[in-house]
Amino acid sequence: MKRILTVVLALVLAVSVYAEDVEIQFEQLPEKAQKAVLKAFPDTRIKKVEMERRASLMQYEVKLAGGIKMQFSKEGNFTECECTNGSVPPVLIPEKIRTYVGKEFPGREIRRIEHDNKLFEVTLDNKYELSFNSAYRLIDIDIVEEEE
């Protein structure tokens, strides 16, 4: 048992040592990510760009003025956008999801969108979190709990 705990502790330490966030210049982002930022937020000041490494995961995070945060995969594919003081620009939201939200939740803003190849999650200004599959069909609705 003691040996197992030692191995687990060594692995945890190795992973945490490998985890790093490095501040980079906007121009060092993959071109695809640069274009997405400039298209979605053409007049918004870029505050900080970081390359994040966690064991086998690498991604980029872009923080903009006004409480806006975007994330991208290592290839520069858009994976997340969060807007604390406004709505996610329509250019970042698939049309079928925009249409569904507009019809079923009229007057609500999408504050956050996150996606991978299989799932889209959007959070509305009323704290509802909607999950859509890759065909943009609603599969779940939750209410986001406030963090303390």
87-148 under CATH 3.40.1420.30, yes or no: yes
Q: Is pLDDT above 70 for 11?
A: no
Boundaries of every domain in the chain: 19-85, 87-148
19-85 under CATH 3.90.1580.10, yes or no: no
Q: Do 87-148 and 19-85 fall under one CATH topology?
A: yes
CA distances from 19 to 48, 52, 58, 60 (A): 19, 8, 10, 13
Burial 94-127 (b: 16+ CB within 10 A, else e): eeebbebbeeebeeeebbbbbbeeeebbbbbeee
Among 73-77, 121-125, 138-142, 144-148, where is mean pLDDT lowest?
A: 144-148
For residues 20-49, give the mean pLDDT: 95
Under 8 Å CB-to-CB from 63, ≥6 apart: which residues? 46, 47, 48, 49, 50, 69
Cβ 40 vs Cβ 81: under 8 Å: yes
- Alpha-carbon distance of 27 to 34, in angstroms, equals 7
Percent of the chain with pLDDT over 90: 76
Among 54-63, 65-74, 88-97, where is mean pLDDT lowest?
A: 54-63
Question: pTM for the complete prediction?
Answer: 0.82
Coil/strand/helix, residue 146: coil
Q: Name the band, by pLDDT with cuts 50, 70 and 90, for residue 7.
A: very low
For residues 71-83, give the mean pLDDT: 96
Residues 84-107: tens digit of each pLDDT: 999 999 999 999 999 999 999 999
Q: What pLDDT, on the 0 to 100 scale, is given for residue 72? A: 97
